Structure 1
Amino acid sequence: MSTQVQEQVVIINAEGQILGRMASNVVRLLKEGKKVIIVNGEKAVISGEKNRVIESYKLLLTVKTLFNPYRNGIRRPRSPINIVKRTIRGMLPKSSKGRRMLKNVKIYVGVPKEFEGRQFIKFPDSDVSRLKGKYVTVEVVSKELGWSG
């Protein structure tokens, strides 16, 4: 008797979704054992004034090592895919289980042809309409950090 475990794949549209809230919902799905595909990753939203958000991300790029400050510093994500993935990674368990969960996440810029016409999920609790203040998309932050996409 062999039982096959069917893996559920959840496709999420990140357009107009608050990055942190979306990431926490993605982590919840990963803990349930589902595979998650995120499309339109560059259209996720970070709350805050544009200049303030960009400056906080640029500040991370200036960090150098104490061991040899003349060498390059810590690697930081610049592309929208890596910024979203890094946000999700920060919410996962810091163990081998968390690393396995991160392998079940795929993030795309735009919508690939293989997912066109499919049903996408949007989380109502992470919708941009909840924000009263200003916000900036991940794509704008990435371009300010030097992403050429």
Structure 2
Amino acid sequence: MKSYMAKPKEVERKWYVVDAEGKTLGRLSTQIAMVLMGKHKPEYTSHIDTGDYVIVINAEKVTLTGKKLDQKFHVRHTGYPGGQRKVSLRNVLDKHPERVIEHSVKGMLPKNRLGRQMYKKLKVYAGSEHAHQAQQPEALEV
């Protein structure tokens, strides 16, 4: 028997909507990353993007356990000497709540061209409204 290899043109993609209200960030992010990679499908192939689109709503209402809001930081570097910038998770959640989920999920995806392609299928919104009603997304239980 031969192993099945999915071909990029044969992959059928669905749209899922996830409500992040009251969900724990890490547990939510792992489930989203699995759907983006396509690991929930029987035709999963590691070198092909077989994943589906995921829309996350109510990103501002995601929860974190412990003291992570004050002890965890989003770090970036400007490229100049001494240009490291750190922002606490509490500040990021107040100003740009979408970035918290985006950053968490991006860290769980492969670090290559395929991972960047998977990341583009993630749509995150702070409120309960999204602009993808035409795709008729299904609710994804996480």
What whole-Å deviation, never above 9, does each CA across 1:88-112 have from its counterpart, x for those lacking one? 0011111111100100000001111
Residue type of the partner of 2:23? Answer: Q
Counterparts of 2:30 and 2:11, CA distance in 1? 25
In structure 2, the partner of 1:23 is 29
Shift in CA distance, 65/53, structure 1 to aligned 2, threshold 3 Å: same
Shift in CA distance, 105/74, structure 1 to aligned 2, threshold 3 Å: same
Shift in CA distance, 65/7, structure 1 to aligned 2, threshold 3 Å: closer
In structure 2, the partner of 1:128 is none
Counterparts of 2:116 and 2:37, CA distance in 1? 12
Distance apart, 1:75 and its partner CA: 6.8
**TM-score normalized with structure 1 length:** 0.63
Distance apart, 1:57 and its partner CA: 3.2
The answer to whether structure 1 residue 44 and structure 2 residue 62 are counterparts is yes
Mark the runs of 5 or more structure 2 residues left unpaired by the alignment.
1-8, 39-50
Aligned match for 2:117, one of 100, 105, 108:
100
| Identity across matched positions, percent | 26
Mark the runs of 5 or more structure 1 residues left unpaired by the alignment.
124-149
Shift in CA distance, 18/101, structure 1 to aligned 2, threshold 3 Å: same
What whole-Å deviation, never above 9, does each CA across 1:10-43 have from its counterpart, x for those lacking one? 1000011110011000011011110000000111
Q: Which has the higher contact order (CA 8 A, sep 6+)?
A: 1
Residue type of the partner of 1:88? Answer: V
SS at match of 1:45: coil
The number of equivalent residue pairs is 113
Whether contact under 8 Å (2:57, 2:130) holds in the other structure is no
SS at match of 1:98: helix
- Which one has a larger percent strand, Structure 1 or Structure 2? 2
